[in-house]
Amino acid sequence: MTTFLTAGLLFDLDGTLVDTAPDLALAANHMLQTLGRPPEDEATVASWIGDGVPRLIKRALTGERFGEPDPVLFEEAQALYGDYYEAHVADRSLLYPGVAQTLAALRADGFRMACVTNKAGRFTRPLLRALGIAAFFDVILSGDEVARVKPDPLPLVVACERLGVARDGVALIGDSGNDMRAAKAAEIPAVAVAYGYHHGVDLTALGAAAITPTFADIRNFFRFEGRFLLSKAMP
């Protein structure tokens, strides 16, 4: 098994820490039905996850992976979706097995940890708080807090700076091609979870250094020897 010496761990959110598909589907169907359109099943909505809420909404409106709806319709749909999802962000979303226990163990081991997601902050923090894991993270970085989102490496670079840990002392844990591409561009090793919303993409081919079948197994991939690697970007 590949083992990494790290001081900091960066975690994706949707599909890695939390199964958010049930609430994303509820929000999507509220939006569609309010617009006079038929609802979609949860599996279909889950297939739209992975490129941020705006792209999910566009997929719901167009039925195409990279379709572009009428801009006015999109703005109306985005408002409907956002207001509903913000009010119901944790109605049915669940932590994947072992997440809370493993984060607690990693925290006790001494790792500094960040949650790095493309999800907007208005959804991210309420979700993490509702599921009882917000306090495990030294940094929470949402998609609307940086100029570019994953697969761009910028969110990972910013997260490392805020953690105070150099990039050669961190690793990313994620479930999608966007996570793997971002990590590769940032020159950060990535461990992919075998579950989540990768939609059958070969994550190893996209740069994953290792794949873990469960979240609980993640702890086996990392060692921490009590030293923090201060980022060169930090004063």
Print the SS3 string covering 115-155: EECCCCHHHHHHHHHHCCCHHHCCEEECHHHCCCCCCCCHH
- Kindly tell me the sign of the dihedral angle through the C-alpha atoms of 209, 191, 197, 56: negative
Kindly write down the DSSP assignment for every residue of 41-87, as one continuous string: -HHHHHTTTTS-HHHHHHHHHHSSTT----HHHHHHHHHHHHHHHHH
Identity at 27, one-letter amino acid code: A
231 pLDDT band (50/70/90 cuts)? low
- Which tokens sit at 36? 């006079």
Would you please indicate which residues are annotated as catalytic (active-site) residues?
12
Render 143-205 in DSSP notation, one character per residue.
Answer: GGGSSS-TTSSHHHHHHHHHHT--GGGEEEEESSHHHHHHHHHHT--EEEESSSS-TT--TTT
What is the average per-residue pLDDT within 49-64? 92
Q: Which helix (H) or strand (E) holds 107?
A: helix 99-109
Q: For the chain, give the percent of residues with pLDDT over 90.
A: 89
Query: Which pLDDT belongs to residue 233?
Result: 43
pLDDT tens digits for range 165-207: 999 999 999 999 999 999 999 999 999 999 999 988 999 999 9
What residue type is 10 in one-letter code?
L
State the pTM of this model: 0.94
Q: What is the pLDDT of residues 92-126, one digit of tens each?
A: 999 999 999 999 999 999 999 999 999 999 999 99
